[in-house]
Structure 1
Amino acid sequence: MTELELKYGCNPNQKPARIFMESGELPIKVLNGKPGYINFLDAFNSWQLVKELKEATGLPSAASFKHVSPAGAAVGTELTDVERKIYFAEGMELSPIASAYVRARGADRLCSYGDWAALSDVCDEQTARYLALEVSDGVIAPGYTEKALEILKGKRKGGYNVVEIDPAYVPKHIEHKDVFGVTFEQGRNDFKIDEALLGNIVTENKDLPQQAKRDMLLALITLKYTQSNSVCYVKDGQAIGVGAGQQSRIHCTRLAGNKADNWLLRQHPKTLALQFVPGIRRPDRDNAIDVYLSDEYMDVLADGVWQQTFAVKPEVLTAEEKREWIAKQSGVTVGSDAFFPFGDNVERARKSGVQYIVQPGGSIRDDHVIDTCNKYGIVMAFTGMRLFHH
């Protein structure tokens, strides 16, 4: 049996704590730092996500995890000038795997604060340099270049968590966990998600372009490793809103949709024109942008505290301007880990530019959900496979 002793479990009072295998070697090496219990939960879940996402798309993949759910996930495609600006990556050299992480982190930069990063490919210098600029707890990858490891070892006063995983490792088919002293056993969810899963298009509109298929795969694989109930909005190979752990499906759809709207609004000309005080930290910029896009900004103006963040008084982005900007958006995909029980989920999703939906189907109200999609010309595929994760 091999094991790694941990400082404590989920909370400081939960001792002793360790990770171990009853037979064989642990599939990881800690190259730097001292990862904790939650760090390893994030690491193992996020690694599975990016490994499967690369297998499904053929593209370098990355994820940004917080509390055992992804704040974002993405494949490594080239960033636009606007994306570079809103992700604070202007002027940086970005390899495909670096681009994947920048985009994963950019899905919800507020929630990615202090994240665990996962990379499908070897971590190179460009990825390490971007990670070094962000507030992050650690990273898992199948390997690290010498320069990347040198950079990461200098992060957080030398305490940054760097974990290398054996990409050939295959876990046992049966998995266990204890709750309240009772052991639960189940078969591991090794269900393969690929394009063959997308063939059952149930709506009148059956035009499903290749890019939308890729986005559906990204949504489904992200959901497979998101605490349920969960809904995921995706655009151009990047998650732009993840709603995790809600008891109601519509609340998942609203939560993820509101995050997607914020991502879209970060690209509004007024948001792009924001001028910050010199030397402002990246997290403070993220917080300021979040406040600017919220109703709280009027209070900031009224209290006269905007000078603490902005070099020039920002012009108000009105509620009407927000609605108009979001209404212009299109090409967004939504995935759900279980069926939509009512058409209200479709109504909410389409307000954020959703044109494609992928979900298991199987509700007694499937006809109503399909009719709602048909009303807006939305393409919807039924997979027949639930993706709960607890």
Structure 2
Amino acid sequence: IDIGGPTLIRAAAKNFKDVLVVVNPSRYDELISKLKDGVDEGFRRRLAVEAFEHVARYDAVIANYLRKRLTGEKFPRNLTMTFELIQKTRYGENPHQEGAFYRTIPEIGEGCIANSRKLQGKELSYNNILDADAAVECIKEFDEPTAVIIKHATPCGIASSGNIFDAWIKAYETDTYSPFGGVVAFNREVNGELAEDLSKYFLEVIIAPSFSKESLEILGKKKKLRLLEIPSIKRREESICFRSVTGGLLVQDRDVKEINPEEWRVVTRKKPSKEDIKSMVFAVKCVKHVKSNAVVFVKDTHTVAIGGGQTARVDATWIATHKGKEKIKGSIMASDAFFPFRDAIDVAAAAGVKAIVQPGGSIRDKEVVEAAEEHGIIMVFTGQRYFRH
């Protein structure tokens, strides 16, 4: 831990009217030019600000390292963080807003959108980054070859299969309208066969641990299409995550809790088979990444319908069954939270659902279970809620 260096930098920055302090080598050429032609007040001020930012960043990194090493305190009284600019975006969420993208310092070792490598395409937009992050975080749930399609930061198709091409086809078949202008993530290399099919659609971003030479030649014909490579896309680390609110910051544990069906409880007379449990695990992994209120319907290990972002769970269920139509028959439904009423069960039953997996915990659980019994539906309580706001 350096003491003298930061002290000299701070002292020089404080005395910026008489001292030029340079902490960024990219400023050297400009400094030499200014020394020859004259140093203006604005340049002195910029250098001083950069100096204080540099020292503050150094101190923040030290403080965070020592807190983790010496005290292990997760939520300290004073939370110091530092970030480094990756890029300024063309605009923010909307054209009338300005935006930028920063990475945490020090960088994390886990594969993420902040350390991805862009192989081709336009600069990532603010919304591209949000969607890409949602896709990457979702794909990390799965070990089998998996495809995740994201639109407006929520999944519209997820599938795992024996090979990555089949996973893509099944994910796309969930909802053939929503992927237009979407983001797709894979946890296996994109090969030529997959690239050929992907090239038929308008997509904003494709993310994968790697791209074959043949796939790059095929997708390279779509000059604006962004290809992001994240080699360690499967890795997940325990950490804390942040959400900004006006005037403050919300901090919580990142949700990396393993899904363990041995902790679940069957609450109906009809029992799920091993195949049903496998599908339920897949469904729970999917629904935890859909905006609440959320439900998903799956067969085997692929979604057939997704309903999310609704203020009433019955509406999310109706939307999913309306979009899934005949595909709902014989499917398994997962809900991110308990059912406050039996209405969503009745809607799912009318569409032909086979089984439902949900956290349980409602004051009307008895009524909800009775509805499942009445319709001959298997119901399992996980005891684990997955709200996503």
TM class by shorter chain equals: 0.7 to 0.9
> Aligned pair 1:10/2:98, yes or no?
no
Q: Which residue of 1 aligns with 2:118?
A: 30
Matches within 5 A, 1:133-212: 133-155=200-222, 158-165=223-230, 166-167=232-233, 169-171=235-237, 173-197=239-263, 199-206=264-271, 208-212=272-276
Q: Which residue of 2 aligns with 1:246?
A: 310
Cα gap change, 1:330 to 1:9, in 2 (>3 Å): same
Cα gap change, 1:19 to 1:153, in 2 (>3 Å): farther
Give the deviation of 1:213 after TM superposition.
1.8
Q: Of the candidates 90, 100, 103, which is equivalent to residue 20 of structure 1?
A: 103
Q: Which residue of 1 aligns with 2:145?
A: 60
- 1:16 & 1:62 partners in 2: Cα distance? 29
- 1:345 & 1:180 partners in 2: Cα distance? 35
Does structure 1 conserve the Cα–Cα contact (< 8 Å) formed by 2:149 and 2:155? yes
Q: Deviations over 1:20-50 (max 9, x none)?
A: 2221264311111222222122212212222
- 1:150 & 1:231 partners in 2: Cα distance? 39
Matches within 5 A, 1:67-82: 67-77=152-162
Structure 2 gap ranges (5+): 1-82, 109-113
Give the deviation of 1:101 after TM superposition.
1.1
Helix, strand or coil at the partner of 1:123: coil
- 2:260 & 2:226 partners in 1: Cα distance? 32
Of structures 1 and 2, the one with the larger relative CO (CA 8 A, separation 6+) is 1
Give the deviation of 1:171 after TM superposition.
4.8
Helix, strand or coil at the partner of 1:354: coil
Does structure 1 conserve the Cα–Cα contact (< 8 Å) formed by 2:99 and 2:126? no
Q: Deviations over 1:276-302 (max 9, x none)?
A: xxxxxxxxxxxxxxxxxxxxxxxxxxx
Task: Figure out how many residues of one structure are paired with residues of the other and give that number.
Answer: 299
- 1:370 & 1:170 partners in 2: Cα distance? 35
Helix, strand or coil at the partner of 2:92: coil
Does structure 2 conserve the Cα–Cα contact (< 8 Å) formed by 1:51 and 1:61? no
**TM-score under structure 2 normalisation?**
0.73
Q: Which residue of 1 aligns with 2:357?
A: 358
Structure 1 gap ranges (5+): 78-95, 265-328
Does structure 2 conserve the Cα–Cα contact (< 8 Å) formed by 1:260 and 1:352? no
> Aligned pair 1:338/2:337, yes or no?
yes
Does structure 2 conserve the Cα–Cα contact (< 8 Å) formed by 1:332 and 1:352? no
Cα gap change, 1:194 to 1:40, in 2 (>3 Å): farther
- 1:4 & 1:382 partners in 2: Cα distance? 43
Cα gap change, 1:147 to 1:238, in 2 (>3 Å): same
Does structure 1 conserve the Cα–Cα contact (< 8 Å) formed by 2:293 and 2:311? yes
Helix, strand or coil at the partner of 1:204: coil
Q: Please list every run of at least 4 consecutive aligned residues from structure 1 whose deviation after the TM superposition is greater than 6 angstroms.
A: none
